[in-house]
């Protein structure tokens, strides 16, 4: 006997809603438990095998090529290069490759002004997009490790030492550092979601299921580089996940720290999230191997943390639609439908108030941000499906 239409609608409504609850609430708790077990297992292994946890000597440090692609970054690029040259890393094993992607300001001139032999400048006359510049810069790198960063980031003095340490394990193909967002007065204490994401990265790294890398500070083995398609939007995620899909480990190093200024308003963050969302859907469609070609742990974290998060607004819309149909005949489903729509409406109102006022009371910041995040994913999916995006640079505070 076939299930009734009401049974199918109920299953759809509850499953879609449940998958979102799982991604945001249940998965982090499950991940925390798995990460705790994994850490105990690793610690027991050190005790059991009496392995040395200390880093190797400085004489063992690999050669590193730092790659920075820039477009109209005259206000940042000089300080960025100076920051890299001052890092606590042997000068004879560090080289900086900087590319100006057809900048119309003084970016190229500032790069050329550095007389240090460790700085290699490539001033490209045509603006082609970040992915094309990265392809050209990495092709010049002769060092064994390639470190990627942004023009508006700054590394802490010991960041590079921390970042390269895990490569002593030959199974490691990519290492991601940690980005800390700042305002003028210091760390951005309002970035609750960002700290939540850092927590997930730490836990996923412990169980061997790290996803992507932080574009402000990450490194791969030069031999594992795969050229990017010219219209790639999220290059950091694509580069790192391609390394994982090739069978190599991704490691998270929270003590390899880069810093950037945080966006001042939720509207700025929303626009940034739309662009990242387009890159997310681009990666999901173009690279099914990230789900089906990686090991079971990576597939589990990718589905739970990324795929379900990116599709959360779509799942919520399907759930609300199925609930609304059931509400025509059931008071219980009517209450559930009103609950869903009421939550989304209140969160949307908080977002709009934040857009206009620029500042929200603390209790409203989380729902406003979650609305902005999910609305951005919804808009991004529509733009990606329609092909209404480009791989060029977009100015933002981050």
Which stretches does DSSP call E strand in the chain? 64-70, 94-101, 119-124, 145-149, 154-155, 172-183, 186-187, 218-221, 249-261
Q: What is the pLDDT of residue 191?
A: 62
Q: Which residue has the tokens 């042997």?
A: 90
Left (φ > 0), alpha (ψ -120 to 50) or beta: where does 62 sit? beta
Could you say which architecture CATH assigns to the domain 58-262?
Answer: Alpha-Beta Complex (3.90)
Tell how strand 94-101 and strand 249-261 pair up. unpaired
User: CA 262 to CA 342: how far, in whole Å?
Assistant: 30
Confidence of residue 396 (pLDDT cuts 50, 70, 90): low
First to last CA, the chain: 57
> What is the pLDDT confidence band of residue 149, given thresholds at 50, 70 and 90?
very high
User: Residues of the chain with pLDDT > 70: what percent?
Assistant: 89
Residue appearing with tokens 């297992």: 41
DSSP per residue, 23-53: IIIIHHHHHHHHHHHHHHHHHHHHHHHT---
Are 178 and 258 in contact by the 8 Å Cβ rule? The answer is: yes
If DSSP codes are grouped into helix, strand and coil, which group holds residue 368? helix
Closest CA to 53 of 159, 168, 157, 158: 168
- Confirm if 165 and 206 have CB atoms less than 8 A apart: no
Question: Which band of pLDDT confidence, cut at 50, 70 and 90, is reported for residue 185?
Answer: very low
- As a whole number of Å, the CA-based R_g of the chain is 23
Query: What secondary structure letter does DSSP report for 328?
Result: T
pLDDT beyond 60 at 255: yes
Q: What was the pLDDT predicted at 175? A: 97
Q: How confident is the model at residue 74 (pLDDT cuts 50, 70, 90)?
A: very high
Reported as a single tens digit per residue, the pLDDT across 290-308 is: 999 999 999 999 999 999 9
Label residue 208 left, alpha or beta by phi (over 0 means left) and psi (-120 to 50 means alpha). left
Residue 397 clears pLDDT 60, i.e. is over it: no
State the burial class of residue 133 (Cβ atoms within 10 Å of its Cβ: 0-12, 13-18, 19+). Answer: buried
- The domain ranges of the chain are 1-27+264-398, 58-262
Query: pLDDT tens digits for 87-134?
Result: 999 999 999 999 999 999 999 999 999 989 999 999 999 999 999 999
Which of the 8 DSSP states describes residue 288? T
**Calpha distance 360→372 (Å, rounded):** 14
Instruction: Specify whether the backbone of 213 is left (phi greater than 0), alpha (psi in -120 to 50) or beta.
Output: beta
Beta-carbon neighbour count of residue 116 at 10 Å?
13
The pLDDT-based confidence of 361 (bands split at 50, 70, 90) is confident
Strands 64-70, 94-101: pairing is parallel
């Amino acid at each position: 006997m076939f299930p009734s239409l009401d049974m199918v609608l109920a299953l759809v409504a509850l499953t879609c809603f449940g998958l979102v609850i799982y991604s945001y609430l249940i998965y982090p708790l499950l991940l925390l438990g798995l990460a705790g077990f994994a850490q105990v297992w690793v610690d027991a292994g050190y005790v059991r095998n009496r392995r040395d946890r200390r880093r190797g000597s400085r004489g063992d440090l690999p050669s590193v090529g730092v790659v920075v692609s820039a477009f109209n970054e005259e206000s940042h690029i000089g300080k960025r290069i100076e920051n890299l040259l001052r890092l606590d890393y042997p000068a004879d094993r560090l080289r900086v490759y900087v590319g100006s992607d057809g900048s119309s300001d003084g970016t190229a001139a500032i790069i050329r002004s550095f007389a240090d032999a460790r700085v290699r400048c490539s001033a490209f006359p045509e603006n082609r997009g970040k992915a094309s510049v990265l392809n050209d810069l990495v092709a010049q790198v002769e060092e064994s490790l390639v470190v990627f960063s942004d023009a508006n980031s700054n590394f802490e003095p010991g960041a590079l030492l921390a970042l390269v340490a895990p490569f002593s394990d030959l199974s490691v193909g990519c290492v991601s550092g940690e980005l800390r967002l700042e305002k003028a007065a210091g760390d951005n204490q309002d970035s609750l979601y960002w700290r939540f994401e850092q927590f997930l990265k730490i836990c996923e790294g412990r169980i061997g299921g790290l996803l992507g890398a932080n574009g402000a500070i990450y490194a791969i083995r030069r031999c594992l580089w795969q050229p990017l398609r010219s219209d790639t939007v999220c290059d950091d995620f694509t580069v790192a996940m391609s390394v994982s899909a090739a069978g190599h480990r991704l490691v998270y190093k929270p003590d390899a720290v880069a810093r950037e200024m945080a966006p001042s308003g939720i509207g700025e963050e929303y626009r940034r999230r739309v662009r990242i969302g387009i890159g997310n859907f681009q990666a999901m469609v173009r690279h099914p191997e990230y789900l089906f070609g990686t090991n079971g742990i990576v597939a589990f974290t990718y589905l739970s943390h990324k795929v379900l998060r990116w599709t959360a607004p779509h799942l919520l819309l399907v759930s609300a639609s199925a609930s609304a149909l059931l509400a025509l005949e059931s008071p219980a489903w009517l209450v559930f439908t009103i609950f869903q729509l009421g939550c989304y409406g209140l969160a949307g109102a908080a977002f709009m108030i934040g857009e206009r006022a620029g500042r929200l009371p603390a209790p409203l910041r989380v729902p406003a941000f979650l609305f902005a995040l999910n609305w951005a994913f919804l808009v991004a999916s529509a733009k990606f499906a329609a092909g209404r995006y480009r791989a060029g640079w977009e100015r933002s505070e981050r």
